[in-house]
Structure 1
Amino acid sequence: MNALATIARWITAPVRYWGEVLGEKDYEKYVAHLKRHHPGCPIPTEREYWHKRWADQETNPGSRCC
């Protein structure tokens, strides 16, 4: 691996990490899960997915900071 690729990896790693922490890819993972395990199930829009997810978190907070 050349030096430029190594530097690019070091720069993009925190961005990828925070994207995972904040759930950036959660909708895509959910859609893949539905297609794989529930092929006949309707797929919600991304907006519907996040609305339901946030509503569920408000109803059942579990452990979180606030």
Structure 2
Amino acid sequence: MNSVVKGLRGFATYMGSLMGEDAYRKYLEHFEATGNSGPAMTEREFWRDRMDRQDTNPQGRCC
């Protein structure tokens, strides 16, 4: 039973990464690693910016 739960959690994590669920965390890691000056975007600002960029520059995506 434990291996089934581990498998399902792994699958959920994988699907979340495909859907971009971890995009904000990756943004923060990149922001800190590159030594930007000033504050990072809030999570709300990040998602709004991401959606605005996708709307103005559509690329191949399912939806």
TM-score normalised by the chain length of structure 2: 0.84
Residue of structure 2 in register with 1:18 after alignment:
15
Higher RCO structure (Cα 8 Å, ≥6 apart): 2
Residue of structure 1 in register with 2:27 after alignment:
30
Q: Is the 1:19–1:25 Cα contact (8 Å) retained in structure 2?
A: yes
Q: Is the 1:34–1:41 Cα contact (8 Å) retained in structure 2?
A: no
Amino acid at match of 1:30: Y
Unaligned runs of 5+ in 1: none
- Comparing 36-45 with 56-65, greater Cα deviation is found at 36-45
Q: Identity percentage over the alignment?
A: 35
Structure number, greater radius of gyration: 1
Q: Is the 1:34–1:43 Cα contact (8 Å) retained in structure 2?
A: yes
TM-score normalised by the chain length of structure 1: 0.81
- The total of aligned residue pairs comes to 63
Unaligned runs of 5+ in 2: none
